[in-house]
Structure 1
Amino acid sequence: MVVYGMQLPVQSQSTLYAEGWEAAAGPDDLVAVARAADAHGYDYIASCDHIAIPRRLAGAMSTIWYDPVATLSYLAAATERVRLLSHVAVVGLRHPLVSAKAYATLDHLSGGRLVLGVGAGHVKEEFDAVGADFEGRGGVLDETVDALRAALGPEEFPEHHGERFSFEGLGMRPRPVQERIPVWIGGSSPAAVRRAALKGDGWLPQGDPRPRLAEQIAKLRGLREAAGIEAPITVGAITEALYVGEPGWETGRRTLSGKPEALAESLRAYGEMGVHQIQVRFRSRSRTELTDQMAAFATEVAPLI
């Protein structure tokens, strides 16, 4: 069975995907979209992570990046069942105990709905500004995942001793509601795929086209098998932009649109290649059009996938 979730609008506004209406949107719009996801069976809502964007990238990326813990905590209080995904937290920007405190509290306050998506990051100036190691961020992330496993585990006094981080004898409450926080690894580089295979409960590829995605999934499974890891892993995919029905306006040549049956037939290919969850994105000109698209997908397309 393939489940579906979505990245929230408004909270990050890169020109790669933000719609025009989001520039003037705010908290009420986020709540409305989160509640629509909650009501229509979406598995998760997701929020990105950047601390600060340098001028050289601001034109393309924008400087609008809400804090994921604050955003997801705010929306946890407005929803009941939808899971809360950081997609992705650049955890190398912070000491793992700082991240663990924030995300353990989020899981506690939300009744156990956190999915911790993590990634290496790519903005050097951001790392430099907070004194984090940009060049060594891959190794930092590897150890940070291990440290977070310990700090988010069942022990009130977690323990970790590594090359970069070491702690013991420090009590941390509240504890997460979940006995094991799912850690999904983001990224499509060879290092990211290996990291997901060896350390992740899930993999969040970054928009690989379908033929490449199938190859990446095979590589991921091969790495896990070679390492003797038998535990299941949640494989994700980001779909093409979608529009349920005939849009009547220019949605872009890469948008999948049309009747529910045709969309479902196309999206079933993801499940056939071994994907367990798809992250969907809808073209829209307003909040209302977005929530209408979310409802149409959930009621007309998803049951056919």
Structure 2
Amino acid sequence: MPPIARPAYGMQLPVQSQSTMYAESWEAGAGPEDLAEIARTADAGGFAYIACCDHVAIPRRLADAMGTTWYDPVATLAYLAAVTTRTRLLTHVAVAALRHPLLAAKQYATLDHLSGGRLVLGVGAGHVREEFEVLGVDFDARGRILDEAVDGLKAALGPEEFPVHEGELFAFRDLGQRPRPVQTPGPPVWVGGSSPAATRRAALRGDGWLPQGDPRDQLPAQIDRIRRLREEAGLDGPFEYGAIAEPLYVGEPGWHTGRRTLTGKPEALAESLRAYAAMGVGQIQVRFRSRSRTELTDQMTAFATDVAPLLGD
């Protein structure tokens, strides 16, 4: 059996989004310096990326579950670009249909330029109807709008100073934008979501796939579907398959971390996570249970030092 390549590992940042579904209690009192220290720890620990998600406004009907603390992803990642040097900056995910692609491209190109080429543009369809309605975007047509927004973004973030896109919903030409992204032919676009439409969008329009809550036993079928769609379309370029791991705690916590949390010695955690690589996953998004920022950064360091080297050859 050939050796399994060691997958990259990244993480969604805490603090910047505080849904009751996953936020730890200490995050409510945290702020910019906490985010900066977590980003520095990720940078030092070889984390492939840090990620920030996207909501413009949360309707009252969802506020109890989702909270209303959602930092702007471009502003947040630009702030963290200044305190890091290696880790990539991922939007996971930007609701791309809410913004004209030329306007969004100005922000993303600037972020890629300022960070030295570290942007990864993760995009998704969104799910909050009121956000679309208040911004004048058709919620029911968001999939079609997202498809064209991705095409427009890829054109606008390409190497041309005067990009061209002619679509049904968006069109632009003879309009120059600088600075250009550092990355050529442009920052990678990873498509989020696990519905049939989302995986098809990832396969045909993306450079990678960000699953949304797929259990382990469903990932192989999703990966196979994306591979098949790409083969049928004659697409054979690099493609990044992702996974979101169960919550982690390196060591024995001594407190209740939840029934789904993987805990234990580094060898045991690595053995469990290697199953993702065996499926063909190239990057694993990890999340750590914690009761304070210090406990979180200690967990990140322990993972980078003791678990990550055991993930593959």
- 1:4-153 aligned at under 5 Å gives the runs 4-153=9-158
For 2:103 and 2:67, how far apart are their aligned partners in 1? 26
Task: For residue 80 of structure 1, give the secondary structure of its aligned residue in structure 2.
Answer: coil
* 1:226, distance to aligned residue in structure 2 (A): 1.2
* 1:248, distance to aligned residue in structure 2 (A): 0.1
Unpaired runs of at least 5, structure 1: none
* 1:13, distance to aligned residue in structure 2 (A): 0.5
* 1:207, distance to aligned residue in structure 2 (A): 1.6
* 1:16, distance to aligned residue in structure 2 (A): 1.2
Task: For residue 282 of structure 1, give the secondary structure of its aligned residue in structure 2.
Answer: coil
- The answer as to 2:247 corresponding to 1:247 is no
- The answer as to 2:285 corresponding to 1:279 is yes
* 1:297, distance to aligned residue in structure 2 (A): 0.3
* 1:194, distance to aligned residue in structure 2 (A): 0.4
Task: For residue 136 of structure 1, give the secondary structure of its aligned residue in structure 2.
Answer: helix
After superposition, the CA RMSD in angstroms is 0.5
Task: For residue 117 of structure 1, give the secondary structure of its aligned residue in structure 2.
Answer: strand
- The answer as to 2:262 corresponding to 1:236 is no
8 A contact 1:207–1:239 mirrored in 2:
no
Task: For residue 178 of structure 1, give the secondary structure of its aligned residue in structure 2.
Answer: coil
For 1:175 and 1:233, how far apart are their aligned partners in 2? 23
Unpaired runs of at least 5, structure 2: 1-5
Q: 2:273 aligns with which of 260, 267, 270?
A: 267
- The answer as to 2:175 corresponding to 1:170 is yes
* 1:15, distance to aligned residue in structure 2 (A): 1.0
* 1:153, distance to aligned residue in structure 2 (A): 0.4
Paired position in structure 2 for 1:190:
196
Q: 1:181 aligns with which of 171, 179, 187?
A: 187
Identity of aligned residues (%): 74
Q: Which runs of 4+ in 1 moved over 6 A?
A: none
* 1:168, distance to aligned residue in structure 2 (A): 0.3
* 1:23, distance to aligned residue in structure 2 (A): 0.4
TM-score scaled by structure 1? 0.99
Which residue identity lines up with residue 97 of structure 1 in the other structure? L
For 1:230 and 1:24, how far apart are their aligned partners in 2? 47
For 1:119 and 1:177, how far apart are their aligned partners in 2? 23
Encode CA deviations 1:15-53: one digit per residue, 9 max, x unaligned.
111000000000010000000000000000000000000
Encode CA deviations 1:68-113: one digit per residue, 9 max, x unaligned.
0000000000111110000000011111111100000000000100
* 1:276, distance to aligned residue in structure 2 (A): 0.1
Task: For residue 66 of structure 1, give the secondary structure of its aligned residue in structure 2.
Answer: coil
Pick which of 62-71 and 207-216 moved more. Answer: 207-216
Task: For residue 262 of structure 1, give the secondary structure of its aligned residue in structure 2.
Answer: helix
For 1:74 and 1:132, how far apart are their aligned partners in 2? 29
* 1:158, distance to aligned residue in structure 2 (A): 0.5
- The answer as to 2:214 corresponding to 1:208 is yes
For 2:225 and 2:199, how far apart are their aligned partners in 1? 8
Paired position in structure 1 for 2:162:
157
Which residue identity lines up with residue 265 of structure 1 in the other structure? E
Paired position in structure 1 for 2:296:
290
* 1:115, distance to aligned residue in structure 2 (A): 0.2
Task: For residue 249 of structure 2, give the secondary structure of its aligned residue in structure 1.
Answer: strand
For 2:84 and 2:7, how far apart are their aligned partners in 1? 22
Task: For residue 185 of structure 1, give the secondary structure of its aligned residue in structure 2.
Answer: strand
Which residue identity lines up with residue 68 of structure 1 in the other structure? P
